[in-house]
Structure 1
Amino acid sequence: MGGLGFRDLKDFNLALLAKQLWRLIQYPSSLLARVLRGRYYRQSDPLEDRKIYSPSYGWRSMMAAKPYLQMGIRKTIGSGLNTRAWSEPWIPDERARPPRAAPQIGFQEPGMHMGSDKQCPRCGNPEESINHLLFLCPPGLQVWALSDFPSLPGLFPSTSIYQNMSFLFWNTKELCMIDPQKDFYPWILWYIWKARNDKIFDGKETSPVDTLIHAKIEAESWKTANEPKDVEEAALSPSPSPSLRTSPLDDQRFPTCQVDASWIGNSLVSGLGWSLKEEESGEVFGLQGCRRSLSALHAELESLLWAMSCLIDRGVLYVHFQSDCLDLISMTESPSDWPSFLSELEVFQNLRGNFGIFTLSHIPRILNTRADTLAKGARAKGIIFFQIIHNEPMTGSFSNQPLNWPIVM
């Protein structure tokens, strides 16, 4: 001031106030910082804009210096826990600043269009969404209709992509679709997408039949390429394991027992079923409703164990067992590969030692409809029970009357 070396008292005062505010930030554990924090910024920091009721003169004075402190302050990221990335100045530019959004980049909805035209190129629908492309567009809808997946009104295909994917992931198991069928959908989805791109970029129309054929060929090629070598060697081997055969014996003098289970995750009861057939004597079959097993594979194993136990009690010790569950056969061949089934497999080995001849082979689901129907019927009852029935008079140790043993809970 006036060349005498005196400072501008207003600027000097604001600088001292800004320094005091800076000390509140640098030393949050000081006595003054703790007192002011309890009164003015309990859940925030001194630089945050807050509406304060009846502030003191000292606090109002420090807030007057806040703009000057913010002009030169920069947030150090550290762990980033207390950093507001979009509002606080942490980028060391000429003047510290928060990040800026690029004006020409906006949020893109989960569609397939980079331009403004959102019309479906295949059917002309005003808006093409992912669900419309894969499930509801007429060419895609025809692909699903031609496939092995059932069309269920209101369930599949639906207007919700989450419901459609849930159906493909989980509901196909409840419909008893075999593995090659229910695991086929990724290639269908992929080739529907490719057919759409061929239409846009090459002007090529791909029929639903061709789309499905290409998907099936690609799925089979992938399955063949990823088949384990040991499985291929086992398939080429002429001599199966003598202890547990995976194909029926040539000698058909012994009866065949088919087993199956029915399991649904939201049901309280699992269903077990088995059917023993002899060419001359007829059929004996059993069905049981039991408490829901831990998984579908647990239920399959329980069905086999129950069938083995029933036949041992009746003196039938030379049996060919059949199941449509490949994992069940793999489990009984290599118990060490299934540690979570250790206790059940010990029971299996004990029961298996009582048989004179025991074989377990795989059959397609379409050939196991009898046991499958029994298991589903037992589960549908929704109660705990078991029943063994003689369809026709049996020779030997079997009686001619139905055996019904309800379980007392």
Structure 2
Amino acid sequence: MRIKDLIYLVAKNWWEIYSHPESLLAQIFKGVYFPKVSLVKAKKGWRPSYAWSSIWSTKWVFERGGRWKIGDGRQVDVRRDNWLPHGSPIIYSEDLLVELNINNVSDLLLSQGRMWNRELVEHVFCPNTALQILSLPLSVHGGVADSLFWTGSIDGVYSSKLGYSFIKDHDARSQTSASLAVSPLPANLWKKIWKSNAIPRCKELAWRAFCSLLPVRDSLWRRGVEVDPTCPLCGEENEIVSHLWLNCPMSKCFWFAYSLGLRLDSFSSLPEFLLQFLADADADDGAISRWLSASYALWEARNKVIFQDRPFSCDVVLQRAFQLELVDDPTSTPFHPAIEQAVSWCRPPQGLFKVNVDGSWRSDSTSGLGMAARNHEGLILAAAADVVERTSSALETEALALRWSIGLAISLGFRRVCLETDCLKLFQLWKKPPDGRNYLATILNDCFQYCRSFDFISLSFVRRPGNTVADYLARHASSFAGCVWIEEVPPEVETFVTADILASMPPV
């Protein structure tokens, strides 16, 4: 093999060699072409060629953008490798690691890598690091090897396009801007907004809101305009952009009732929300266009309250948002009361048990899980709620809720089950599971292994109004942590159960 062919092969398969050092390809390069030094740990050398210098100079991209997924923990060094979501571990004392003989992550695991040794983790690491470690989801079946995954993709698989975007975002973050109007939002996320089907004025409003360029009352008051700075909708706090979009009780009611069913309690600013929302949403699934249309409808309703003295009505704003969606996409369905009935909870066929699942993500605290199982008459057979350590994303929380609910269904003796979730992305991954390497793939693989215990199992997507019981249990899981109810639910949930039974009654 010629030298230039070897260099080309290394460059083409760099990520495969880096993420799977135990693979045949990596062993060939390590044992034949690089007999003394692994390619991952190779040095630049003296007077390197231009090709090798180019390959070696990109090593930092994979070291910073890639992260180890913990399987059995045998390949991951506790101190040197990148395996935690938020930086390197903070250890109380290095002597503890030597004294307790802790070298690899496997030394922190119990039951053949199926659970963390909580007592040991909390003894060795500081509270913040211990929380990060305990929040990493492990396979409940064990036998999973460690692997590197790319943190910037849903399935954890690296591509040159993602690497290029990572480098651009890194360069953008390293440069300081003197202008306050320059947005810190990465360019690839802005492209999702500009390429959406929303009408131009909705896109412009989102940009002005993100850059704090809207004439909200608090901003006008600070600039010397004689105006009441309080919010015209609720009158409780000063009207700033983040309050109007995220914290105002009236806008919260609207966002929850809207088809996206957004929960905004965990976000402190609009840029923080947009970064998470745009990173999770796909440009072609319509979610971005709907959010832009809804934002414009909310701003329009706010202006009518101020300048036309019209009362704020959630139903009116919802209708206006659906009208703007119809302008964005001629194929979308206009608002009609029958639509709300169509997305309510439906009874399963006789002989099947319907299990509704939901997860409530909190970026700064524990996340909640909720589950409700009912028969063909709508009667509650079982319900449960629990909490998990701080998870990395809403999608991961929804996947954990699904795995937890399937495990409960097996324990309760259900063998013919139809599952329902209000997370569209999770439903899409269930239908076409990716060949992923991250924690999300581990959780889904556990779910598929659980499915072998059922005679029949399916997963369906339902809108938020059809998942109210599980949603309530997930959002209030901190009050019901670890509770399982058999043939009953908490008193505050009975209203939702009764409403579902009445809405699902067959016509006379």
TM-score bin, normalised by smaller chain: 0.3 to 0.5
Task: Mark the structure with the bigger radius of gyration.
Answer: 1
- TM-score scaled by length of structure 1: 0.44
TM-score, normalized by length of structure 2?
A: 0.36
Structure richer in helix, relative to its length: 2
